């Protein structure tokens, strides 16, 4: 089986045509979706980039693989000690090689995040530039297309291709953002909500959109009104469109090789992107719906039925377990992911009743998501503004604008019970490492923007009251 995994950074499913988006951002991916299975309820267990792709490589939740943040305390990827590789905790890539697959990645992720564990198990690793994740899709394809032309007709390979274009700073050619200028933008956030967001004083908020002074013309300087938001949205959608154009080049190449109908595709992302939700723009800083909800499209010739749509909760760790199952291998006992291959074959299948997810880079949060509610427990809000306990009714409030925890104490109690039970199960199941969340809470989620640097920025811009509020909140390192 020839398998191509398209790993598209920061891609929200609700910005794709096959998920109902009105703009024609993803015609080539939509064509693949029409030939396979589209999952409506796939979520990353942990966000953002490092914990999510550590789960991709390990088949484990971040509480078990240890890399919950991007560096420092809470970042240590756990793998059993010793010279030989662990069978219960096998790397996904090594499992595929056990099945006789050639494993190939075109990704600069390991370089960008100093994630040396990412390089384990691949037959071939192509980083193709020294830009550390700042490549555009044309630069990726400049390396991928020649490889396909040389090796594409071979059998039994797993080809992982990562595109970064939907990730801020939206560096695709400006004309790709410009194509939307006469097209309607989605209604959230409204002019009224954007006005309310002017009082937010955290990084990547409406008023403080950028933490660096340089940014491309595809992004506004700040979000003061709907026009500014549309400017930002057009840049994001332009990045998606530019990426999709290059997916089309992959499809054309497969057609030229005469293997287009024989290739299996998996298309997903590491995480989504907040676009005004919780006042956060163009960033992935929380365990919220906009950040954790992923696209998932799977096409396996001879297995999947074209046009199938599947409802039911799955984790990203379930995806790698499913691929392992599809190639005829047992899922390692140390993995947290479970195969959903019956869903691909149209057989009876039941997704998870609920999901537990977490984030440990900009905030320290764990969330519980079921069919009705999204519950978020914030242990450390970092520089952001989150209530310690939040509850949202997803059907009536998909953008998570109104915290109804106080009105629903029974639901909050049940969600907290689920969260406590989940943590106890993880500790009992693997019991070999400390919870990495505790390390991030203790030292603070101060990574790309530190507490001191942000206070200094606020002082420089005359926001003295906001600066003093942060000083008081984190006096002696303890949140008040």
Of 331, 352, 373, the last residue of a domain is: 352
Render pLDDT for 233-292 as a digit per residue (tens, 0 to 9): 999 999 999 999 999 999 999 999 999 999 999 999 999 999 999 999 999 999 999 999
Q: Please state, in angstroms and rounded to a whole number, the distance separating the CA atoms of residues 156 and 101.
A: 5
Of 330, 352, 374, the last residue of a domain is: 352
Give residue for tokens 């830009």.
131
**CATH number of the domain within which 442 lies:** 3.30.1120.10
pLDDT given at position 213: 84
The answer on pLDDT for 477 being more than 60 is no
pLDDT given at position 80: 84
Do 387 and 240 belong together in one domain? no
Question: How many CB atoms neighbour CB 210 within 10 A?
Answer: 17
Give residue for tokens 């039994």.
156
End-to-end CA distance of the chain: 56
Do 338 and 200 belong together in one domain? yes
Q: Please state, in angstroms and rounded to a whole number, the distance separating the CA atoms of residues 234 and 182.
A: 10
Q: Which helix (H) or strand (E) holds 151?
A: helix 137-151
Do 363 and 388 belong together in one domain? yes
What backbone phi and psi angles, to 5 degrees, belong to 310?
A: -120, 125
Q: Which helix (H) or strand (E) holds 267?
A: strand 263-268
Q: Tell me, what DSSP letter sits at residue 36?
A: S
Give the model's confidence band at 430: pLDDT under 50 very low, under 70 low, under 90 confident, else very high.
Answer: confident
Do 222 and 98 belong together in one domain? yes
Do 241 and 363 belong together in one domain? no
The conformational region for residue 155 under phi > 0 = left, psi -120 to 50 = alpha, else beta, is beta
**CATH number of the domain within which 103 lies:** 3.40.720.10
Q: Which helix (H) or strand (E) holds 314?
A: strand 314-315
Range of the domain at 230: 2-352
Contact 400, 379 (CB under 8 A): no
Rounded average pLDDT over 155-161: 98
Give the model's confidence band at 480: pLDDT under 50 very low, under 70 low, under 90 confident, else very high.
Answer: very low
Q: Please state, in angstroms and rounded to a whole number, the distance separating the CA atoms of residues 197 and 207.
A: 8
Give the model's confidence band at 478: pLDDT under 50 very low, under 70 low, under 90 confident, else very high.
Answer: low
Do 34 and 104 belong together in one domain? yes
What backbone phi and psi angles, to 5 degrees, belong to 440?
A: -70, -40
Tally of domains within the chain: 2
Rounded average pLDDT over 90-106: 96
Do 379 and 455 belong together in one domain? yes
Do 209 and 273 belong together in one domain? yes
Do 279 and 360 belong together in one domain? no
Share of the chain above pLDDT 70, in %: 99
Do 287 and 361 belong together in one domain? no
Rounded to 5°, the CA angle 236-241-244 comes to 130
Q: Model-level pTM greater than 0.85? A: yes
Do 432 and 338 belong together in one domain? no
The answer on pLDDT for 346 being more than 90 is yes
Do 336 and 370 belong together in one domain? no
- Across the strands, what pairs with 373? 393
pLDDT given at position 82: 77
Of 318, 352, 386, the last residue of a domain is: 352
Name the CA radius of gyration of the chain, rounded. Answer: 22
Question: How many CB atoms neighbour CB 313 within 10 A?
Answer: 20
């Amino acid at each position: 089986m020839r398998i191509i995994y398209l790993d598209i950074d920061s891609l929200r499913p609700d910005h794709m045509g096959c998920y109902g988006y009105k703009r024609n951002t993803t015609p080539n991916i939509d064509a693949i979706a029409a030939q396979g299975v589209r999952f409506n309820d796939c979520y990353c267990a942990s966000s953002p980039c490092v914990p999510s792709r550590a789960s991709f490589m390990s088949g484990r939740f971040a509480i078990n693989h240890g890399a919950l943040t991007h560096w420092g305390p809470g970042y240590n990827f756990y793998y059993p000690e010793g010279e030989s590789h662990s069978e219960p905790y096998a790397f996904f890539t090594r499992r595929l090689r056990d099945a006789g697959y050639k494993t190939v990645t075109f990704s600069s992720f390991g370089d960008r995040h100093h994630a040396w564990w990412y390089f384990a198990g691949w037959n071939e690793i192509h980083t193709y530039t020294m830009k550390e994740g700042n490549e555009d899709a044309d630069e990726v394809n400049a390396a991928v297309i020649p490889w396909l032309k040389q090796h594409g007709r071979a059998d039994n390979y797993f080809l992982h291709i990562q595109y970064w274009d939907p990730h801020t700073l939206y560096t695709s050619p400006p004309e790709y953002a410009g194509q939307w200028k006469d097209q309607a933008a989605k209604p959230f956030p409204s002019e009224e909500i954007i006005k309310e967001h002017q009082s937010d004083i955290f990084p990547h908020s409406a008023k403080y959109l950028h933490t660096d002074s340089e940014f491309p013309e595809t992004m506004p300087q700040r979000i003061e009104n709907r026009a500014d938001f549309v400017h930002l949205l057009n840049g994001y959608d332009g990045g998606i469109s530019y990426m999709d154009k290059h997916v089309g080049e992959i499809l054309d190449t497969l057609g030229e090789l005469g293997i287009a109908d024989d290739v299996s595709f998996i298309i997903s992302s590491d995480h989504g992107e907040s676009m005004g939700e919780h006042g956060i723009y163009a960033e992935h800083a929380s365990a919220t719906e906009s950040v954790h909800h992923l696209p998932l499209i799977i096409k396996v010739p001879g297995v999947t039925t074209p046009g199938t749509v599947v409802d039911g909760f799955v984790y990203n760790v379930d995806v790698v377990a499913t691929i392992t199952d599809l190639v005829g291998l047992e899922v390692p006992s140390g993995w947290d992911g479970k195969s959903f291959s019956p869903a691909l074959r149209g057989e009876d299948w039941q997704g998870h009743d609920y999901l537990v997810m977490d984030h440990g880079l900009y905030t320290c949060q764990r969330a519980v998501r079921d069919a009705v509610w999204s519950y978020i427990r914030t242990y450390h809000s970092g520089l952001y503004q989150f209530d310690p306990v939040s509850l949202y009714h997803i059907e009536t409030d998909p953008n998570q604008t109104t915290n109804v925890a106080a009105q629903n104490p029974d639901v909050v109690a049940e969600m907290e019970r689920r969260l406590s039970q989940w943590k106890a199960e993880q500790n009992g199941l693997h019991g070999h490492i400390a919870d990495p969340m505790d390390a991030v809470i203790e030292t603070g989620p101060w990574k790309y923007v530190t507490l001191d640097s942000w206070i200094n920025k606020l002082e420089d811009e005359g926001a003295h009251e906001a600066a003093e509020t942060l000083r008081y909140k984190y006096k002696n390192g303890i949140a008040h």
